[in-house]
Structure 1
Amino acid sequence: MYDDSSSRIAAELRSWISTAPPGAKLPSTRSLVERHAASPVTVQKALRTLATAGLVESRPGVGTFVRTVRTARPNDYGWQTGALATPGHRMPKMPAALQSAPNDVIALHSGYPDRELLPERLVRAAFTRAARSDAVINRPPAAGLGELQAWFATELGSAVPLGVTPPAPGDVVVQPGSQAGLSTVFRTLVGIGRPLLVESPTYWGAILAAEQAGVEVIPVPSGFSGPDPDELARAFERTGARAFYAQPNFASPTGAQWSDALCEQVLGIVREHSAFLIEDDAMHDFGITADSTPLAARDDAGHVVYIRSLAKSVSPAVRVGAVIARGPAHERILADTQVHSMYVSGILQAVALDVVTHPSWKTHLRNLRHQLQSRRDLLVDSLREYAPLVHIEAVPRGGINLWVQLPDAVDMDRVVQESRSAGVIIGAGSDWFPAEATGKYLRLTYAGPNPGTFPDAARALGEIIARC
């Protein structure tokens, strides 16, 4: 666990505030500095923490006081029941991956890499250059900046084998992140009420996007080796589906990477049923002991619709992605993009292009690979030593997550709650199943902050699981 001077000061003041009357004046900054042998900056940081929590209020020139509790008049929102009526789709709860966590906990739940894994220097420099360019004024084309379209097409084209026609820049539609791309593809290629086959478990964002698009989600069993091709074929035949959403490389949450043989089998099944394979390659830049080899590189007949995002590898603030599709499917995707977002911010596109074409980008990716490997191995070793009841089926060759299973008798809700109380934030694996979960799973990220605390987290988790 982490503790620093400001946290200790804040904790002591919280205790004092709990017994103080509203309006009571806190000790002065000078007295707190003397009492705790801390700097004025540290004391001010503690006071800001308390103010952010709504416990105190500062009056310039007077001091800091326990905040007066104001009893709010309850509002009646009953009129909205009739105005909203019954929702046309289920409103899922926020998954653990999106929940914010305090700085003083061990966060093993986030879906985004820690800032030390991002090319921060490149991103800051790119924003500075973009701010001086015409990108701050001009409206970009609906399909995206031509140079960025060409970069995405070239990236996919570099993996194309002989005899397959590589994608053209005109096949690319730039999106405001992969989530927007998923929503657009599900709306245009599947449609309301029609079936969409998905791996189970799968990315929670795809489940959410499918529900928002009103499509019928059909789970296909999948694991660390990928989906069962026989089950996939039967699902196509049984449902009449014309689309299958999958992550062939470093899938979230399992970390699975399909073998060459499975790629050919799945592509054959998709072609046989005249269907689309919607390939999500969000973890393209997060290879560790293997590289991402897109399935879309093997197809030039328009069966594979490819989605890639830069929000995780460049910066969450640079929500830029792309959908690569051919034929009439491309035209539908572009039309839907124009309706829902018109175009992606020219500034963000310019920044993304600047970063990924900078000579230091490749160096950053090489360093990232080493960092991810050391983090992954530390988390795996820590769990094996301190949490032996946690079953690790396989160690992923890429991605940012470790998918683990707990004993069937474990009370999962209790494990999650007690872990949070112990300062370890985790997310139950049920968020990643489009139907009922088939076991007690956890998705633990090794790309979060402070990897040095992994042993502490594993020790706490092991003790909690044993109790539960």
Structure 2
Amino acid sequence: MRQRSSVTELAKSLRAELNRYSPGEKLPSSRALVEHYRVSPVTVTRALAQLAAEGLVVTRPGAGAFRAEPRTPAPAVGDTSWQEVSLSADTATEAVPRTVDASGVLVTLSAPPPGVIEFNGGYLHPSLQPAQALAAALARAGRRPGAWGRPPTDGLPELREWFAREIGGSVTAAEILVTAGGQSAITTALRALAPPGAPVLVESPTYPGMLAAARAAGLRPVPVPADAGGVRPEHLEAAFRATGARVFVCQPLFQNPTGAVLGPERRREAVRIARAAGAFVIEDDFARRLVHEDAPPLPAPLAAEDPDGVVVHVCSLTKPTSPSLRVGALAARGPVLERLRAIQVVDSFFVPRPLQEAALELVGSPAWPRHLRAVSRELRSRRDVMTGALARHLPELVLPHVPSGGHHLWLRLPDALPEASLLAAALRAGAAVAPGRPYFCAEPPAGHIRLSFAGVAGPAELVEGVDRLRAAVDELTGRPPAPGRARGSAGPAPGETA
């Protein structure tokens, strides 16, 4: 967070100084800027890149940065109002209008303003990402013969073998398609398995990115109630019977947002019920490598125990590594595999080979298991710090389930605390949280928020973020701040450890 703030501040200072230079004149060297502004070389590089992107400077390798020539006047703004009619015309003939609402996804993708604690993130903080291992893997991948050549459309054979071994059971490399991350795989699966206008059964609550992808494909998400043990089989069976759906999407392991794990009996029942309905189960196994250190042994993926091709499995390397390592996999057997393959080829041809090669180098290196152990240990520690801080300072927010994997907590708000008002008050207090509303495809039973403990710098920031959230609740309820703790304070109260 401080790095991002420093880059913004330096770019602002350099922007103000540009008028001192003539077009084409060279700016001070990077070393001079480091010494003058007392920032790191990385900050200087990123600030100059930001100005270059704005067209204010031109960087020339080996020569330095120069003030850009004046830009030509911007062309006249056209009239695009006609598009409103054109884009809405299709909805008159569609059974389910294709709406593209990315707001629930953007909450976890957009960085908050500088100084705001990021409880709404969807990825590991940079300090938890295997940056050195990724850099080394990318360097080794670049030296592989043919690294920039055209890969097989299904993915590199060695990477498909690795994914098949990770899923287990009788899954083979021939049943694997390498995808550009989990979101791409889910989108492909939804389009392959259900025609526009069809219902698709989903857990309630569930991942907003999947709901957005389903609606963009013209599908109609239908909620199926779930609890701490996952989806409830009796409701799943009733939903299949009532809707005639042919697809059920679930996250059996550390479900987003509840953190629930589908129990052994329910796992068998869910696949049996889908098979009896002639339906597919899309298994989004996004969090398997985000298991906490104290978790019991993990169940195998549903796909590993499904010889009949009921389960279409989705997994990804993105969550446990970096937002930019967008490499995942689809696993399926039977005729549906050819349909999945065709849609992926039409949409994207293939996943870039250098990225696949880098993924192979990473998962085959000794750094990979070390990284997973470190993340497992750190996620458990952060979860405990956050749950402890919430219990002490925000007992009115209900935590139905403490997860043993994943990177977030799912909290129910008291009826007297409006969700939208709390989000706004939290942001004013300096904490960004994810709203619960986008996780429901129908009316939510109550207000909720999702708090990520993986996207912050460390335990002290977790405690400070909960303190700011307490200040937001106090603002809305009119309750005075706790003794010894001012609103928006910069650290823990006396006697409290971070």
Q: TM-score range by the shorter chain?
A: 0.7 to 0.9
Q: List per-residue Cα deviations over 1:322-381 (Å, max 9, x = no partner).
A: 100000011111111111111111111111111111122112111111010111111111
Q: Does 1:169 align with 2:178?
A: no
Q: List per-residue Cα deviations over 1:167-218 (Å, max 9, x = no partner).
A: 1110001111111111111111112111110001111111011112111211
Residue 87 (structure 2) aligns with: 84
Q: Does 1:140 align with 2:151?
A: yes
Q: Which one of 464, 468, 471 corresponds to residue 460 of structure 1?
A: 468
Letter in 2 for 1:310: L
Q: Secondary structure of the equivalent of 1:134?
A: coil
Structure 1 contact 107–424 (Cα < 8 Å) conserved = yes
Deviation at 1:427, TM superposition (A): 1.3
Matched residues in 2 for 1:224 and 1:405: separation?
14
Matched residues in 1 for 2:134 and 2:362: separation?
6
Matched residues in 2 for 1:103 and 1:132: separation?
38
Deviation at 1:93, TM superposition (A): 4.1
Matched residues in 2 for 1:121 and 1:97: separation?
25
Q: Secondary structure of the equivalent of 1:282?
A: coil
Matched residues in 1 for 2:346 and 2:2: separation?
47
Q: Does 1:232 align with 2:236?
A: yes
Residue 37 (structure 2) aligns with: 40
Letter in 2 for 1:307: V
Q: Does 1:251 align with 2:260?
A: no
Deviation at 1:438, TM superposition (A): 1.7
Structure 2 contact 425–475 (Cα < 8 Å) conserved = no
Alignment of 1:20-169 (within 5 A): 40-42=37-39, 76-86=79-89, 88-95=97-104, 96-157=107-168, 160=169, 166-169=170-173
Residue 404 (structure 2) aligns with: 397
Q: List per-residue Cα deviations over 1:137-185 (Å, max 9, x = no partner).
A: 321111111001110111111xx3xxxxx11110001111111111111
Deviation at 1:403, TM superposition (A): 0.5
Q: Secondary structure of the equivalent of 1:202?
A: coil
Structure 1 contact 389–466 (Cα < 8 Å) conserved = no
* Count of aligned pairs: 438
Matched residues in 1 for 2:356 and 2:455: separation?
26
Given the two structures, how large is their TM-score scaled by the length of structure 1?
0.84
Matched residues in 2 for 1:58 and 1:189: separation?
49
Residue 223 (structure 2) aligns with: 219
Q: Which one of 195, 199, 204 corresponds to residue 195 of structure 1?
A: 199
Q: Does 1:302 align with 2:309?
A: yes
Q: Does 1:430 align with 2:437?
A: yes
Unmatched 5+ stretches in structure 1 = 18-22, 25-37, 65-69, 161-165
Runs of 4+ aligned structure 1 residues displaced above 4 Å come to: 1-10, 42-49, 70-75
C-alpha root-mean-square deviation of aligned residues, in Å? 3.5
Deviation at 1:298, TM superposition (A): 1.4
Matched residues in 2 for 1:202 and 1:400: separation?
15
Q: Which one of 378, 381, 387 corresponds to residue 388 of structure 2?
A: 381
Matched residues in 1 for 2:2 and 2:323: separation?
25
Unmatched 5+ stretches in structure 2 = 21-34, 59-66, 68-72, 92-96, 477-498
Structure 1 contact 106–450 (Cα < 8 Å) conserved = no
Matched residues in 2 for 1:380 and 1:361: separation?
28
Letter in 1 for 2:103: M
Q: Which one of 407, 416, 436 corresponds to residue 414 of structure 2?
A: 407
Matched residues in 1 for 2:132 and 2:5: separation?
29
Comparing 83-92 and 393-402, the one that deviates more: 83-92
Alignment of 1:440-459 (within 5 A): 440-451=447-458, 452-459=460-467
Deviation at 1:40, TM superposition (A): 2.6
Matched residues in 2 for 1:356 and 1:242: separation?
35
Q: List per-residue Cα deviations over 1:2-25 (Å, max 9, x = no partner).
A: 799969989x99xxx9xxxxx99x
Q: Does 1:185 align with 2:194?
A: no
Given the two structures, how large is their TM-score scaled by the length of structure 2?
0.79
Q: Secondary structure of the equivalent of 2:290?
A: coil
Q: Secondary structure of the equivalent of 2:351?
A: coil
Deviation at 1:42, TM superposition (A): 4.5
